[in-house]
Amino acid sequence: MKKMLSLAAMLAVLSYASPASAELKFGGDASVRVRSEFNDSDTGTTADDVKWQYRIRLKGAADLGSGYFFKTMLMNEEGNIAGGWQTVGYGNHEAITVDISNFYFGRMMQDSHYMMGRMPLNSFNNPILDLSLYPMQALDSPVFNINFDRGYGVNYGTKLGDGDLNATVLVLDNEAPITLINNSVNSDGLFNDGYGVHLSYKMNIGDVTIEPQMVTVIGNTDIWNQTLVGAAFVTAAVTGHADPTTDVTFAKDVTPWTFGANASMPVGDAKLSCSAFYTFCEDNGADYHAAVYRLKGEVGPFMAWVDYNPAADNKTNTDYSNTFVWAQYKYSVYESAAGTFSLQPTLRWLTKSTETATTDSDTSTLRAELWATVTF
């Protein structure tokens, strides 16, 4: 162990001593939180609970010069966890591993940039991918929680006119051809896999920032049913680990279209944001449409938003109506050049209503949380 530490220290000294070496930076954050969860259902079935959780994320970055860069983040993704949060004592054991959650490299230039790898998606602040992949339940940030907010692909951005154009291509799934009993092969050739295309254009009109966006699919992909699988399904969409023979899907091998916009503006000392996105699909037996509307406000350390997600599955004559509220207050306990320590009370409230020709069900989940986080 001492030899390994000495070798690591020597390499670190050499990396900073050589003028040809990249500038390396390391950091991250560690959090613990307690969550009280209260569930309600019109069927009378409830399961209230208290969970003690933690999350550690290690981040690294390298400046290679001339705008070239490399970034990565390591965190635990093993087991039945959402967003990297590990529950103490879950399943009578804790699966603690270190996974390369994302890594990407590219070049930042004066008026453009490009990057590639397993990139962060910023889905926590932008619900378009939530609606695209989870149309019947696009709330509670499913891409951020279930898919760890990253996808494998390439991104290019450039200034265009008075705004910024961004284009991202993501690998949504990598399905091998399936050999049937009669030995024929079910395959679409090069388009057997699914690729998502995300286009956005961000511009300012006075004090208002507007960002129209569109997401579509090249080839076919599967739409996952979060209503059934929830956070237990942590390795399916956007990761390439889905098993089409066992995984619960809402629609298989479809090409949905999603479009809409984000907008934000200052209101005194506050920032007001709103989002509106619509998705639809009439493909391969699927026939559905859904929307998500978000109103968000930020004032100093306080942030809150409310989402509304109406949806309809015409194939099964099922209507969905979902509402979600997120509210948090971030209290800074300590700040320095080396890092911070903060406390963050958080409230999350999700209500879901499902209606068919013969049934009508309503459920709700209220989560009251307290986060303690140190950054370094």
Q: Does residue 174 fall inside a structural domain? A: yes
Q: Note down the domain range covering 352.
A: 23-375
173 closest CA partner among 216, 131, 220? 220
Q: Does residue 7 fall inside a structural domain? A: no
232 closest CA partner among 88, 80, 89, 54? 80
d(CA 307, CA 273) in angstroms, rounded, equals: 12
Q: What is the DSSP letter of 21?
A: S
Confidence of residue 357 (pLDDT cuts 50, 70, 90): confident
Q: Does residue 9 fall inside a structural domain? A: no
Amino acid (1-letter code) at residue 249 = T
pLDDT at 146: 87
Range 21-33 average pLDDT: 89
Among 5-14, 144-153, 299-308, 361-370, the minimum mean pLDDT is found in: 5-14
Confidence of residue 22 (pLDDT cuts 50, 70, 90): low
pLDDT at 218: 81
Range 137-148 average pLDDT: 90
- Cβ 117 vs Cβ 135: under 8 Å: no
Confidence of residue 178 (pLDDT cuts 50, 70, 90): low
Q: Does residue 13 fall inside a structural domain? A: no
pLDDT at 239: 37
The total number of structural domains in the chain stands at 1
Amino acid (1-letter code) at residue 59 = K
Q: Does residue 18 fall inside a structural domain? A: no
Share of the chain above pLDDT 90, in %: 63
Tens digits of residue pLDDT in 307-347: 999 999 998 899 999 999 999 999 999 999 999 999 999 99
Confidence of residue 94 (pLDDT cuts 50, 70, 90): confident
Among 41-45, 225-229, 230-234, the minimum mean pLDDT is found in: 230-234
pLDDT at 1: 39
Range 202-215 average pLDDT: 97
129 has a pLDDT exceeding 80: yes
Question: Which CATH number do you get for residue 313?
Answer: 2.40.160.10
Residue burial 252-280, b: 16+ Cβ < 10 Å; e: rest: ebbbbebbbbbebbeeeeeebbebebebb
Q: Which is more confident, 168 or 240?
A: 168
pLDDT at 80: 66
Q: Write out the two tokens for 282.
A: 């009439």
d(CA 259, CA 277) in angstroms, rounded, equals: 6
Q: Does residue 2 fall inside a structural domain? A: no
Environment class of residue 108 by beta-carbon count within 10 Å: exposed (0-12), middle (13-18) or buried (19+)? Answer: middle
d(CA 149, CA 124) in angstroms, rounded, equals: 8
Q: Does residue 292 fall inside a structural domain? A: yes
- Cβ 32 vs Cβ 51: under 8 Å: no
Rounded to 10 degrees, the C-alpha dihedral 130/131/132/133 comes to 50
214 closest CA partner among 197, 228, 230? 197
d(CA 360, CA 143) in angstroms, rounded, equals: 27
Confidence of residue 155 (pLDDT cuts 50, 70, 90): very high
Q: Which is more confident, 177 or 204?
A: 204
d(CA 164, CA 172) in angstroms, rounded, equals: 25
Range 7-26 average pLDDT: 55
Q: Does residue 5 fall inside a structural domain? A: no
d(CA 236, CA 357) in angstroms, rounded, equals: 31
Environment class of residue 49 by beta-carbon count within 10 Å: exposed (0-12), middle (13-18) or buried (19+)? Answer: exposed
Q: Write out the two tokens for 24.
A: 């390396």
Tens digits of residue pLDDT in 32-84: 999 999 999 887 767 789 999 999 999 999 999 999 999 999 999 887 678 89
Tens digits of residue pLDDT in 244-297: 334 445 677 788 999 999 999 999 999 999 999 999 998 878 899 999 999 999
d(CA 314, CA 281) in angstroms, rounded, equals: 10
CB-facing half-sphere around the CA of 184: CA atoms within 13 A: 3
